[in-house]
Amino acid sequence: MSANTSRATSGGTGAGHTLWVRVTHWIVAASVLTLAVSGFTILMAHPRLYWGAVGNDLTPALIELPVSRNYRHGGWQLSTAAFPDGGPAASVIRTYDILNENSWARSLHFLAAWFLVVTGLVYLLAGIFSGHLRRHLLPRRGELNARALSEDLSAHLQRPMAPAAAGPPYGLLQKCSYCGVVFVALPLMVLTGLTMSPAISAAYPFLVDMFGGTQSARTLHFCVFVALLLFLVIHLVMVSLSGFRRQMRAITIGRPT
């Protein structure tokens, strides 16, 4: 019952995605996958995360990730004081030849980031002017409440899952997760990424303050990446469970049947 009324008022038909949604979806998907692979490669060069302005092998880490042979490599020469008059700061020569593929990984990361940012902006503009964001993505007034959320959640946990519409109108949890990715996670990835740039943070120091330091921004960049990875897994599971062939047809050729 509610599916029919929401379909009538939202303008969506459940009959696939419009062309610009399909094109931007796949460019963003390819960019995000490229960013994930190159980003993980960059992380492997220094798998330690910090909180605050700076952090390095000689300062305490927030998290150490065992993701490459650089994890706790311990290849350091005997330490010397960094201050001529003594003091806590040390200067140490690294003797270990670390794994570092950042030359291509960094350039590839930024190339993919350009595709993500430009396509993301096109998506937002098209979404605003076509009404897609307002009609299909943002939960309608009164729609977002605890009861509706728990009902939608239990509907998702039923086996077999009821076949979902291929394309808008979206379910409530679907709207919430898409909004989370479009309005929170991806903008946060871009902003925390820009904060790590020495030239951009010099021009706009408020970015550094907003995230509590450059290394904090790097840590948040990783945490939001993990959240996006979680979204991707759930997204793919939902696509599979709600009619894989139909959903794939809807997001590629635009017609579910």
Partner 1 sequence: MRGERVITSRRTLLTGMASCGGLLLAGCSDPAPPTYGNLLRMADNLNYRAQRLLLPRNALVREYQRADITSIAAIGTTNPANPHEELYDAAGGAAYDRLRHGGFADWRLTIDGSVSRPGSFSLEELRRFPARTQITKHTCEEGWSAIAEWTGVPLRTVLQSVGVRAGARFVNFYAFDATVDSIDMVDALHPQTLLAYGMNGGELPVAHGAPLRVRVERQLGYKSIKFLHRIRVTDEFYDPGKLGPLQQGWAWYTGI
Q: Which of 199, 206, 226, 257 binds partner 1 (CB under 8 A)?
A: 199
CA 162 and chain centroid, separation: 28
Nearer to partner 1, 80 or 145 (CB): 80
Sole window of 49-57, 127-135, 167-175, 246-254 interacting with partner 1 (rule: CB under 8 A): 49-57
Q: Are strands 48-49 and 63-64 parallel, antiparallel or unpaired?
A: antiparallel
CB of 27 to partner 1, least distance (A): 15
Q: Which of 1, 19, 54, 157 binds partner 1 (CB under 8 A)?
A: 54
* Structure tokens, 117: 């940012």
* Structure tokens, 216: 């904090």
Q: Is 42 in the site for partner 1 (CB under 8 A)?
A: yes
Please state whether the peptide bond connecting residue 198 to the residue before it is cis, i.e. omega within 30 degrees of 0: no
* Structure tokens, 162: 């009821």
Largest CA-CA distance found in the chain, in angstroms, rounded: 78
Phi and psi based region of residue 142 (left: phi greater than 0; alpha: psi -120 to 50; beta: remaining): left
Segment 64-103, which members bind partner 1 (CB under 8 A)? 76, 80, 82-85, 87-94, 98, 100, 102-103
- Total chain residues near partner 1 (CB under 8 A): 50
Sole window of 104-112, 134-142, 144-152, 230-238 interacting with partner 1 (rule: CB under 8 A): 104-112
Nearer to partner 1, 112 or 181 (CB): 112
Buried b (16+ CB within 10 A) or exposed e, 40-60: ebbbbebbbbbbeeebebeee
HSE, CB side, 13 Å, CA atoms: give it for residue 150.
Answer: 3
Please identify which residue in the block is written with the tokens 């009404």. Answer: 131
Nearer to partner 1, 42 or 173 (CB): 42
Sole window of 21-29, 57-65, 181-189, 226-234 interacting with partner 1 (rule: CB under 8 A): 57-65
Using CB under 8 A as the criterion, which residues of the chain lie in contact with partner 1 when the complex forms? 42-43, 45-46, 48, 53-59, 76, 80, 82-85, 87-94, 98, 100, 102-104, 106-108, 110-111, 114, 196-203, 205, 208, 214-215, 218
